[in-house]
Amino acid sequence: MARDKFNPAALLTWLASSIYVWQGVGVRLRTERLAPAKGPVLHRIDGAEPPIGLLVLGDSSAASVGVGNSEQGLASQLAAMMAERTGRAVNWRAAGFNSATAGGIRDQVVPNLPHEPWTHIVLSIGTNDTKNFHSVSRWGREFGTLLYALRAKWPEARLIWSPVVDMTRVPALPKALGRILEVRAQAINGMGVRLCRERSALGAPRLPILDPAAGFSTDGFHASEAGYLAWAEHLVELLLAED
């Protein structure tokens, strides 16, 4: 793995790599493995024409891991809010994949997505890059070219990236591990927001975690139904805002 040569704070986390490995293995062994939510990943909410096209793309959170049915997940709840606020029909798709990283979505997913008329794209990516200790420079290359790929395929879509949450607030993570990953998350987020500004995307504010007990699922890592609801409420006005 390439080191974070130009990010002193992230570079310091390599000194704590033994803690990361030791506690990370423990978390992996203890954490409940949850499957993606059952239910539709493609759906339509009827309303006025022309329809909104919503694509929620990225990691396991985009796949609504943590809840039992996709209707409780981020894409479905966002679509319902957008339909209610606008009165328009919404065609939505959740394209989420366990353990996905920016490079994986860029190389394996975007080229294989059909060219549907998505008008709004929410990108949930970066958590796995953070916990896999991807360097900031690697993240910059892979996330930056992912933005290019999405812009090339959907040049007129409103594209919003939801940054990595505060890792010290994730219940599944021991305090020391949470602090190490939070340093890396801040570095990942800083680079991500900068790239969004440069490449015609919007880096959303970080989702605040006010009540971890309610906001996380039984695994202590993925969102619960209440967590996805709060996430959708956090993003919906940004999606519908006029530039």
Q: 211 in helix, strand or coil?
A: coil
Alpha carbon of residue 106 to chain centroid: 14
Instruction: Compute the C-alpha angle 231/211/81, nearest 5°.
Output: 25
Residue 220: CB atoms within 10 A of its CB come to: 17
pLDDT of residue 26: 45
Would you state the pLDDT for residue 3? 54
- Region 8-240: CATH code: 3.40.50.1110
Q: Running along the chain, 243 residues long, what does each successive block of 10 average in pLDDT?
A: 55 50 48 82 97 98 96 98 98 96 98 96 97 93 98 97 97 89 95 97 96 94 97 98 72
Report the candidate in 94, 51, 97, 52 with the shortest Cα–Cα distance to residue 74: 94
For residue 243, count other CB atoms closer than 10 A to its CB. 4
* pLDDT at residue number 242: 74
Contacts 24+ apart (CB under 8 A), 143-146: 143/102, 143/191, 143/192, 143/195, 144/195, 144/198, 144/199, 145/106, 146/102, 146/103, 146/105, 146/106, 146/110
Query: Coil, strand or helix: which one is 114?
Result: coil
Q: Which amino acid is at 236?
A: V
pLDDT at 79: 98
- The owner of tokens 């959708």 is 232
Can you give the pLDDT at residue 67? Answer: 96
> Rounded to whole angstroms, how far apart are CA atoms 235 and 28?
30
pLDDT of residue 174: 87
Q: What are the sequence ranges of the domains in the chain?
A: 8-240
d(CA 90, CA 70): 16
Give whole-number Cα distances, 219 to 56, 170, 183, 224, 225, in Å.
Answer: 22, 10, 22, 10, 13
User: Residue 164 and residue 101: Cα distance in Å, rounded?
Assistant: 12
Question: What was the pLDDT predicted at 4?
Answer: 60
Query: Which pLDDT score is estimated for 5?
Result: 55
The amino acid present at 231, given as its one-letter code, is W
